[in-house]
Amino acid sequence: MAILLIYRGPHWMSKLSVVDVTVWIEKDPTFLKRYDARYCPGDIIEVREDGAVVTNREKEKFTIVIILGRSKKGLIHLENRMGKEKVRRYRFDASKLPTPEREHFDKGEVELDTRKLIAAIVDKKNG
């Protein structure tokens, strides 16, 4: 099994207005790069091996998705980033899950087989 950490969000930067972002950029010219690369709800942040410890703090920020029958090695590509902004490439779309699994996802943890995982993965680069 493998464990995915899916960002729940929203990221604090997403709440900034255009004026706020401009002020931050004036203070720190590298801010825009970090702003563009911020986590968005549904981003796959990390893939872990079965049995890896998930802290209470992580459980507050992430939904835990346990993938049955797959190892970290087989899913590590889901951590990929793209572009010079290093935006997360893959997003998990829980709306594509059947209702029982979606309800568990909304509660913070769900077990899925590979078929259901593939149906819920969105490649932000290729749509």
How much is the pTM? Answer: 0.80
pLDDT in the model for residue 126: 78
pLDDT digits (tens, 9 = 90+) for 22-81: 999 999 989 988 888 888 899 999 999 988 888 999 988 999 999 998 889 999 999 888
Residue with the two structure tokens 């346990």: 66
Q: Which ranges constitute the DSSP H helices of 78-127?
A: 99-107, 114-120
Evaluate the omega torsion of the peptide bond into residue 10 and state whether it is cis, within 30 degrees of 0.
yes
Calculate the average pLDDT of the chain: 89
The pLDDT > 90 percentage for the chain reads: 50
